């Protein structure tokens, strides 16, 4: 969501709304994370009843902050239920790392072709690891009995989840910058010695191929530099 045109008051309201969301980062609300949903509410672009993990009490909290009437939870976005914990069947795990990439709080420990396991205190029960697992070795196990919504969660747990999500976003941005820098370095090396990377025969044909490759690489470098300056 673009920040252009957002007033300080709207930004402050979004922060207050975000503070009462459960920070599961589950995307069931239809937004990429809790902060994005909070901002959409503050901008009157989304109703206050799209957060199943927060449940009825969560809607009441947002209603109090926004001074909007309490609504029933939107059935289109899910149902309020007990908190669940992701559990990986280690006998079936193939170490593909797809669940690690999907987890918004880095709650899954493992590496390529090695068994994965879930760090229980960091799991928010978001279920984002389920659809990416190619062998269906992940199960969501209810861990709060009949308690749902905020009765099955806590403000301290939400703070931990938000902190871990924020740390993950910082890490991913750093890794992306490093990756882009590596790609730029390789492209510049290739551009500097383009003839060695061109197999066309000498003469006009080779010159045309050299120019074609040079144009492509220079355009890619310009795009990468623009993206890097934007970060």
What pLDDT, on a 0 to 100 scale, did the predictor assign at position 214? 76
What pLDDT, on a 0 to 100 scale, did the predictor assign at position 196? 67
Backbone angles phi, psi at 179, to 5 degrees: -60, -45
The candidate with the shortest Cα–Cα distance to 53, out of 76, 31, 33, 82, is 82
What pLDDT, on a 0 to 100 scale, did the predictor assign at position 231? 54
**Helix-, strand-, coil-residue percentages of the chain, each rounded to 5:** 50, 5, 40
Task: Evaluate whether 157 touches 53 at the Cβ level (below 8 Å).
Answer: no
**pLDDT block averages, 10 residues each, the chain of length 231:** 79 98 98 98 98 98 98 97 96 94 96 90 97 97 96 96 97 86 75 66 67 77 70 54
What pLDDT, on a 0 to 100 scale, did the predictor assign at position 202? 60
Q: What is the DSSP string of 137-180?
A: -EEEEE-STT-BGGGGS-HHHHHHHHHHHHHHHHHHHHHHHHHH
Q: Retrieve residue 76's tokens.
A: 């289109």
- List the domain boundaries for the chain: 8-77, 84-152, 176-230
What pLDDT, on a 0 to 100 scale, did the predictor assign at position 198? 63
Whether 84-152 and 8-77 are alike in CATH topology: the answer is no
CATH of domain 84-152: 3.30.70.20
Say if residue 7 is exposed, middle or buried (CB neighbours under 10 Å; 0-12, 13-18, 19+).
exposed
What pLDDT, on a 0 to 100 scale, did the predictor assign at position 225? 73
Q: Which helix (H) or strand (E) holds 118?
A: strand 117-118
CATH of domain 8-77: 1.10.15.40
What pLDDT, on a 0 to 100 scale, did the predictor assign at position 199? 62
């Amino acid at each position: 969501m673009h920040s252009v045109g957002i007033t300080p008051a709207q930004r402050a309201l979004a922060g207050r709304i975000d503070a009462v969301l459960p920070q599961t980062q589950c995307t069931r609300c239809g937004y990429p994370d809790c902060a994005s949903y909070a901002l959409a509410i503050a901008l009157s672009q989304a109703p206050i009843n799209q957060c199943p993990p927060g449940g009825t009490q969560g809607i009441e909290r947002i209603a109090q902050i926004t001074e909007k009437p309490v609504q029933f939870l939107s059935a289109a976005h899910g149902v309020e239920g007990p908190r669940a914990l992701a559990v990986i069947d280690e006998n079936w795990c193939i170490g593909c790392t797809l669940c690690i990439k999907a987890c918004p709080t880095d709650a899954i420990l493992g590496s390529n072709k090695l068994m994965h396991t879930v760090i229980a205190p960091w799991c928010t029960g978001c279920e984002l690891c389920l659809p990416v697992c190619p062998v269906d070795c992940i199960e969501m196990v209810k861990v709060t009995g009949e308690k749902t919504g905020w009765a099955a969660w806590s403000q301290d747990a939400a703070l931990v989840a938000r902190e871990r999500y924020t740390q993950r976003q910082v890490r991913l941005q750093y890794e992306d910058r490093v990756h882009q820098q590596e790609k730029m370095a390789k492209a510049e090396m290739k551009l500097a010695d383009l003839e060695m990377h061109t197999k066309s025969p000498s003469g006009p044909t080779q010159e045309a191929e050299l120019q074609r490759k040079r144009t492509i690489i220079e355009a890619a470098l310009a795009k990468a530099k623009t993206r890097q300056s934007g970060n």
